[in-house]
Amino acid sequence: MDRLRIVFMGTAEIAAPVLQALSSESDFCVSLVISQPDRPKGRKLKLHPTPVKEAANELALAVEQPERCRDESFLDRLDSLNPDLIVVMAYGQILPKRLLSIPRLGCINLHTSILPKYRGAAPIQWAIYDGEENTGITFMLMDEGMDTGPILRIVETPIASDDNARTIHDRLSEIGARELPDTIRKLAARELRPKAQDHDAATHARKITKKDGRLDWSRSAEALDCQIRAFTPWPGSYTDWIQGEERHRLKFWKADLADAPAVPHGQVVRADREGMVVKCGEGALRILEVQKEGGRRIPARDFLAGSELQAGARFE
């Protein structure tokens, strides 16, 4: 049996294990890896390869990095490879109709939500933020819309109370890497029947900004706990400690639910070796891990040991 000729398109870290899994299968031939161009990073603005490019180099796979995947010269080159399938995960550009029509089996996208919910740029974070009990990987055939194509299969995983965006990111990457090879084989054997999405049930997971990290203490403790976990590791959830005329920015990285007396929301009601407890609109949060501006993440008890912050302090 001939090996399936596969082109892989990906950029972000979450896609690298998926590429590695594809390349390890004897019945697949990854003929080309396509990733976004190297971008400058750091203070010296040195060009850095994408995580997928790094993985491809380690696997000795051919890599191309077009600035725009709709350029005709690039599409001609891709067409000449005559791929059976294109696999896409966290690539970062909308694919044009011509590209989608090149492979005979179509283009499979791995999307990190249970579609049609959380289409868009940040499905992992918004699912946690909204307090969803489950998320997953959706394997879908791509069309010209954003995450609108027919679904091949969905593999779900629970969101535990101690999960954050990083732990879910890593778990979904592992699920994608584990489940993709058999999904491809079943697609090639026509054992999967694509199912149209219910577009009326769709929701959008917009791109996250740093401003989304600000904590609104009028919200419930459960909602703020979800926010902290959703925005770990980026952009982090922050508040301002009001000390007289001064404001000190603090980031909170880990918390759990607590009880508190009837005081104004945003007030610290306890600050001791077990952490600091802050009153919320409903309930309270016990902050377990803190980072002050210019500092590093440390346990709340260590922060309190070297800080003037005490019960009665106010956060905004």
d(Cα 150, Cα 148) in Å, to the nearest integer? 7
Instruction: Tell me the backbone φ, ψ of residue 313, rounded to 5 degrees.
Output: -65, 160
pTM, two decimals, is 0.96
CATH among 3.20.20.80, 3.40.50.720, 3.10.25.10, 3.90.1150.10 for 210-315: 3.10.25.10
Check whether 260 has a pLDDT greater than 80: yes
Instruction: Give the tens place of pLDDT for each residue, 212-223.
Output: 999 999 999 999
290-295 LR contacts (CB < 8 Å, sep 24+)? 290/250, 290/251, 290/252, 290/253, 291/236, 291/250, 291/251, 291/252, 291/253, 292/248, 292/249, 292/250, 292/251, 293/248, 293/249, 293/250
Among 53-62, 83-92, 199-208, 239-248, whose mean pLDDT is lowest?
A: 239-248
Do the domains 4-205 and 210-315 sit in the same CATH topology, yes or no? no
In this predicted structure, what is the pLDDT of residue 41? 81
Domain spans in the chain, listed from the N-terminal domain onward: 4-205, 210-315
Which residue in 165, 159, 160 sits closest to 236, CA to CA? 165
| DSSP string for residues in 92-134 | -SPPPHHHHTSSTT-EEEEESSSTTTTEES-HHHHHHHTT-SE
Check whether 309 has a pLDDT greater than 70: yes
In this predicted structure, what is the pLDDT of residue 42? 77
Q: Do residues 180 and 186 lie in contact, with contact meaning Cβ atoms separated by under 8 Å?
A: no
In the chain, the amino acid numbered 81 is: L
**Pairing assessment for the beta strands 39-41 and 119-120 based on DSSP bridges:** unpaired
Among 53-57, 122-126, 304-308, whose mean pLDDT is lowest?
A: 304-308
Domain 4-205: CATH architecture, name and number where available: 3-Layer(aba) Sandwich (3.40)
Residues 196-220 have a mean pLDDT of: 98
